[in-house]
């Protein structure tokens, strides 16, 4: 398997524009996580899905952020409108889910810069 695939790897956009980040989890994994990493706050969990259903979105910073998982092989994180303080590296991760405490597999991240 190619692992968790995120796109794009880098995104530079102007303040106010809509940004969509994409993630393809590992085939067969039931849980998907979106994280944001900044120097100031470290690694923050934004939202996670189990079997395509959002389970906990309490980490989503505000209404400008939304995430969807229309099927088991694809998820998006959208920011509309974007602001400079959204600049960060966004990671997607997936796990097999269920009761087994297996590792989380991370994508390489999307580095977002909002100018």
Partner 1 sequence: GNSVTQMEGPVTLSEEAFLTINCTYTATGYPSLFWYVQYPGEGLQLLLKATKADDKGSNKGFEATYRKETTSFHLEKGSVQVSDSAVYFCALSPPNTGNQFYFGTGTSLTVIP
Near partner 1 by CB under 8 A: residue from 47, 60, 95, 114: 95
Cβ at position 16, least distance to partner 1 in Å: 28
Distance CA 77, CA 73 (A): 14
8 Å CB contact between 83 and 73: no
Residues whose CB is less than 8 angstroms from the CB of residue 11 and which lie 6 or more positions away in sequence, other chains included = 19, 21, 110, 111, 112, 113
| 108 sits near partner 1 (criterion: CB under 8 A) | yes
Helices (H), 13-54: none
Please give the residues from 54 up to 93 whose contact with partner 1 meets the rule CB under 8 A.
55-56, 91, 93
Site string for partner 1, 6-45 (x = CB under 8 A): ------------------------xx-x--------xx-x
């Amino acid at each position: 398997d190619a692992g968790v695939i995120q796109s794009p790897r880098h995104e530079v956009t102007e303040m106010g524009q809509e940004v969509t980040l994409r993630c393809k989890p590992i085939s067969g994994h039931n849980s998907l996580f979106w994280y944001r990493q900044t120097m100031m706050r470290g690694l923050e969990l934004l939202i996670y899905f189990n079997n395509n259903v959002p389970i906990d979105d309490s980490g989503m910073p505000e209404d400008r952020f939304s995430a969807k998982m229309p099927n088991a092989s694809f998820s998006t994180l959208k920011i509309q409108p974007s602001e400079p303080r959204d600049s960060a590296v966004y990671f997607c991760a997936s796990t097999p889910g269920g009761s087994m405490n297996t590792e989380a597999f991370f994508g390489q991240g999307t580095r977002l810069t909002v100018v």
